[in-house]
Amino acid sequence: MKSQGFKALREYQKLNHYPGSFQIGRKDRLWRNLSKMQVHFGKKEFGFFPQTYCLPYDSKLLKRAFEDGSTKQKWIVKPPASARGIGIKVISKLTQVPKKRPVIVQRYLARPYLINDSKFDMRVYVYVSSFDPLRLYVFEDGLARFASMKYA
């Protein structure tokens, strides 16, 4: 929704997006914003994400990382605007990186956090009722999802 649409909302209307949400809702834009935060605040505060390249922009940097790294290193390739794991693949050679479309390439974590030897993710649901003043509510029941197979 464009800014004008938000301005036209009435008090009784609700929606599930907010202005600028695309800045964190796409993997490429999320990466750019996290990178800026890391530069501004340092790796101590913003060093929690893996080495990431946004292609085609970072193609030369990715090539250098492949040349400097181990031949056993795995990378994960993701479409920038996809969800539910669609289009994700694990690679180990630079030649496996798609050349005709934008992608995000991240160093695959060799030792991820595990619970009972399984990979997992967590979802926390938050309702933001106001940005100024900031007012939000965290839903008590989050969601934890576990891989169906043990991590090898």
Asked whether the beta carbons of 121 and 133 are under 8 A apart, the reply is no
How far is it, in rounded angstroms, from Cα 83 to Cα 89?
Answer: 13
Residue with tokens 């967590």: 122
Residues 58 and 130 in one domain: no
Cβ neighbours for 55, distance < 8 A, ≥ 6 positions apart = 62, 97, 102, 103, 104, 105
Are 55 and 128 found together in one domain? no
Same structural domain, 71 and 25: yes
pLDDT of residue 8: 84
Are 142 and 100 contained in the same domain? no
Q: Are residues 137 and 70 in the same domain?
A: no
In this structure, the answer to whether residues 104 and 122 fall within a common structural domain is: no
Same domain for 75 and 23, yes or no, is yes
In sequence order, the 6+-apart residues with CB closer than 8 A to the CB of 52 are: 31, 35, 104, 105, 106, 107
Domain that holds residue 147: 111-152
With cut-offs at 50, 70 and 90, classify the pLDDT of residue 63: very high
pLDDT digits (tens, 9 = 90+) for 103-122: 999 999 888 999 999 999 99
Residues 46 and 103 in one domain: yes
How do residues 10-43 score in pLDDT, each as one tens digit?
Answer: 888 877 777 778 788 899 999 999 999 999 999 9
Residue 106 and residue 123 share a domain = no
Report pLDDT for 123. Answer: 94
**Would you say the pTM of this structure is higher than 0.85?**
no
H helices of the chain, in order, are 3-7, 22-25, 27-41, 43-46, 59-68
- pLDDT value, residue 19: 75
In a shared domain, residues 74 and 49: yes
Quote the number of domains for the chain. Answer: 2
37 shares its domain with 102: yes
- 53 and 115 together in one domain: no
**pLDDT at residue 128 in the model:** 87
